[in-house]
Amino acid sequence: MEPSFYVEKAYAPDGLPLQFDIHVHNSEGARTIVKAHIHDYIEVLYALTGSYRILLKNNDYFFGEGDLVLINSKEIHKIISLTEGPNRYIVLKFLPDMLYTTAQSFLELKYLLPFVLNESKHQKIFRRREIEGTVVPQTIRTICQEYTDKRYGYELAIRANIYSLFLYILRSWNARNMDLNISQPISKDLLKRLNGVLGYMENNCQEEITVANMAERCHLSCSYFSLVFKAVMKKSFKDYLNFLRISKAEKLLSTSNLNITEIALAAGYSTSSYFICQFRKYKGVSPKQYRSRYIK
């Protein structure tokens, strides 16, 4: 049996990636309504009716009317409706660079890290009892209305409301003393260089990548680079590289028909046995068991 998947990409009429997409999803009946897929977008779901199960990075979450779901960029997910009646939820998807193209004046790049590092440790579901009475429900509805009406300057209005929504999320986490990896006294220039390294590592994790090479890219000594890397990422360089390779393997398991050995090599592991050992260590299941969750 083949994996049920798709890799979502969307383009504007000019051929460039679509910056954002907002719509109301409507469906009937208890069934899989969104098959397993990945995309570059940060995605927010806001349930209007119905109840759902979302498989997000191999973890099950449940949400219903009035709840909000936060899906990081490049997180594998699929959605199953649990009710026979109408299922309606607002979908807000936007490219991460919407949050940092104005970093100098509003949101610095460091505030984006929790939403693009493909981690699953932070809060994914915001319950109705938590967000009811806050700016969240109205902000989501305003974004949806702006996208529908497309009045003059609607793009700016959508961007401004996205800022408001994510500022609420960040402040909510900060008020609960959640560690978001954003409190380190690191200069914007160094953060920019480190962000370039993170991008390179993500795109080339299957290759041989060393601390020395990445330190050279940042124009830092190996020892200082290692200290800064761990301070910001809360992971050693080796652990983060392994995390990227496991994440790439996750995507290949759910979005390709490659066998386990081929996936091990494509993710940067020299042997399938070591890959299986590392995958089980990080994910708690074997690659075969993980893949089976995304099979029809």
Separation of alpha carbons 195 and 200, rounded Å:
9
For the chain, where are the E strands, in sequence order?
Answer: 6-7, 20-28, 32-38, 42-49, 51-56, 59-64, 68-71, 77-81, 86-94, 125-126
- pLDDT value of position 56: 87
| Three-class SS state of 69 | strand
Average the pLDDT over 212-235 and give the result: 80
What DSSP string runs through 137-188?
A: HHHHHHHHHHHHH--TTHHHHHHHHHHHHHHHHHHHHHHTT---S--S---H
- Is the domain spanning 6-175 CATH 3.40.720.10? The answer is no
pLDDT surpasses 90 at 251 = no
- pLDDT value of position 151: 95
Average the pLDDT over 187-211 and give the result: 84
Task: Tell whether pTM > 0.75.
Answer: no
- pLDDT value of position 120: 46
16 band by pLDDT with thresholds 50, 70 and 90: low
- Is the domain spanning 188-292 CATH 1.10.10.60? The answer is yes
Separation of alpha carbons 282 and 109, rounded Å:
28
pLDDT surpasses 90 at 196 = no
pLDDT surpasses 60 at 104 = no
Separation of alpha carbons 65 and 87, rounded Å:
9
Residues paired with residue 34 on neighbouring β-strands, in sequence order: 79
Average the pLDDT over 177-198 and give the result: 70
Same fold flag, 6-175 and 188-292: no
- pLDDT value of position 176: 85
Decide the pairing of beta strands 68-71 and 125-126: antiparallel
Domain chopping of the chain, boundaries? 6-175, 188-292
Average the pLDDT over 86-115 and give the result: 69
- pLDDT value of position 109: 54
Instruction: Identify the CA nearest to 58 among candidates 77, 38, 82, 31.
Output: 77
174 band by pLDDT with thresholds 50, 70 and 90: confident
Long-range CB pairs of 31-34, under 8 A, 24+ apart, other chains included: 31/80, 31/81, 32/78, 32/79, 32/80, 33/79, 33/80, 33/81, 33/87, 34/77, 34/78, 34/79
pLDDT surpasses 80 at 144 = yes
1 band by pLDDT with thresholds 50, 70 and 90: very low
Spatial neighbors of 61 by CB under 8 A, at least 6 apart, are: 53, 54, 69, 124, 125
Asked if residues 3 and 36 have their Cβ atoms less than 8 Å apart, the reply is yes
For the chain, percent of residues with pLDDT exceeding 90: 41
pLDDT surpasses 80 at 232 = no
Radius of gyration in angstroms for the set of CA atoms belonging to the chain, rounded to a whole number: 20
